[in-house]
Amino acid sequence: MHIHKYEKWWLVFGTSTLIIFLIIIGVSAFHAGAHPNNSKWTIDYEKVDEIAPFDNPGVHKVEGKDWDYEVVLVASAFSYTPMEIEVPVGSKVRFVATTKDVIHGFEVAGTNINMMLEPGYVSELVTTVDKAGEFTIVCNEYCGIGHAMMYSTLKVVDADDNSSH
């Protein structure tokens, strides 16, 4: 088998580029912890309303944990509970969400918060919300006729607007 000199150069260049990409995302994931949702937490999707923390959806300030706030969110066809989430800018937030029926998406538009919500599983993601603003939360997995009507809002507000922080 004969390979032209330039083809060797190209394959070396291309393959090294790919390896560099892999190293960058690998280090950023396994060293700096930038993983997507990999939660293994399971739940009875038919009893979500009775099971903590989903019996009390909303924003909760927490103490003694790695994060300052817990946002608990329940998706069902075709709405999110709660309809509005407010957290202070700069706080570390753990988003915990699940579905009561079919698969839904949980995407905070314009951010990296993007995860699938599947029946029987709780999805979670921890992040520091370091930009103030209003972000629309949309369902990005087809779930039925009202799919595009499903939304909520994440408000990241200046810290002094919020008495508890």
Partner 1 sequence: MTTAVTNKEIIKEKQLPKGKNLTTKDRLIKVDRKDAKLALAHMYVAFTALLVGGLAGLLQVFVRSGAFQLPFGIGYYQILTVHGVLLGLILTTYFIMGFQLAAVSRTAGALSNTQRKLGWIGFWLMTIGTVAAATMVLLNEASVLYTFYAPLQAHWIFYAGLALVVVGSWIEGLSQIMRYVQWRKENKGQTSPLLAFMAVVNNLMWFVASLGVAIEVLFQLLPWSLGLVERIDVLLSRTLFWYFGHALVYFWLLPAYMVWYVVIPKVIGGKLFSDALARLSFMLFLLFSIPVGVHHQLTEPGIDGFWKFLQVVLTFFVIVPSLMTAFSMFATFELRGRELGGKGVLGWFRQLPWKDSRFLVPFIGMVAFIPGGAGGIVNASYQMNQLIHNTIWVTGHFHLTIATAVVLTYFGAAFWLIPHLTGRTLTSRMNSLANTAGILWAVGMFIMSGAMHIAGLLGAPRRSEYSTYGGSEQAAEWISYQFAQAIGGTILFISILVIIGVVVNLLWFAPKGEEEFPVAEVAEGGGSTPAILENFKVWGVILVALILIAYTFPIFDILSNSPAGSTGFKLW
Partner 2 sequence: MANHKKTSDDNLKGTLYATFGIGIIIIVIWALCFNLFIDRF
């499903």: which residue's tokens? 150
Q: Does 126 bind partner 1 (CB under 8 A)?
A: no
CB atoms within 10 A of CB 91: 18
- Interacting residues with partner 1 between 46 and 85 (CB under 8 A): 46, 77-78
Tell me which of partner 1, Cu ion, partner 2, none is bound by residue 126, counting a contact when its beta carbon lies within the kind-specific cut-off of 5 to 8 angstroms: none
Per-residue interface string for the shown chain with partner 2, residues 110-129, x marking contact by CB under 8 A: xxxx-------------xxx
Kindly indicate which of the ranges 51-59, 61-69, 107-115, 155-163 contains the residues binding partner 1, using the contact rule CB under 8 A: 107-115
Kindly indicate which of the ranges 14-22, 82-90, 113-121, 147-155 contains the residues binding Cu ion, using the contact rule CB under 5 A: 147-155
From 36, 49, 51, 131, residue interacting with partner 1 (rule: CB under 8 A): 36
Residues in CB range of 45: below 8 A, 6 or more apart:
98, 99, 100, 101, 119, 120
From 21, 30, 41, 142, residue interacting with partner 2 (rule: CB under 8 A): 21
Q: How far apart are CA 13 and CA 7, in angstroms?
A: 10
Backbone angles phi, psi at 52, to 5 degrees: -70, 145
Q: Does 92 bind Cu ion (CB under 5 A)?
A: no
The answer to whether the peptide bond before residue 53 is cis (omega within 30 degrees of 0) is: yes
Closer to partner 1 by Cβ: residue 50 or 160: 50
Q: How far apart are CA 25 and CA 13, in angstroms?
A: 19
Q: Compute the chain's Rg from CA coordinates.
A: 20
Which spans of this chain sit near partner 2 (rule: CB under 8 A)?
2, 4-6, 9-10, 13-14, 17, 21, 24, 110-113, 127-131
